[in-house]
Amino acid sequence: MRRIALHTRLKPGREREYDDVHATIPPELAAAIRAAGVHGWWIWRDGPDLFHLVEVEDYQRMRHELRDHPVNVAWQARMAELLDVTDDYSGTDSGLPLVWALPPASGGPTA
């Protein structure tokens, strides 16, 4: 299991719309994401900046599996209206590099 951190940015003035769209994720999308090996996905927003934490078995495999999945293609088209980013969803990235971590005292998972 890996933890992947991501950063994306919204187009100016799209914060409310982004929040509204994410209030209800289509069940088919959630199922496709889970089937691709994602165990959890969290998004925090600070103004237009979005910070994601993804717990996934294999990030590149997940991106590859979702790239052409019809429900994800539709979702990514909707997100393209809101996000100030170009992403071919190739999965060649590895997320943000980890700079520092304070591991759980129990010796739990590391990045």
Task: Look up residue 82 and give its two tokens.
Answer: 């809101």
* Active site amino acids: 22
SS3 3: strand
Listing DSSP states for 33-82 in one string gives: HHHTTEEEEEEEEETTEEEEEEEES-HHHHHHHHHT-HHHHHHHHHHHHH
Alpha carbons 78 and 76: distance in angstroms, whole number: 5
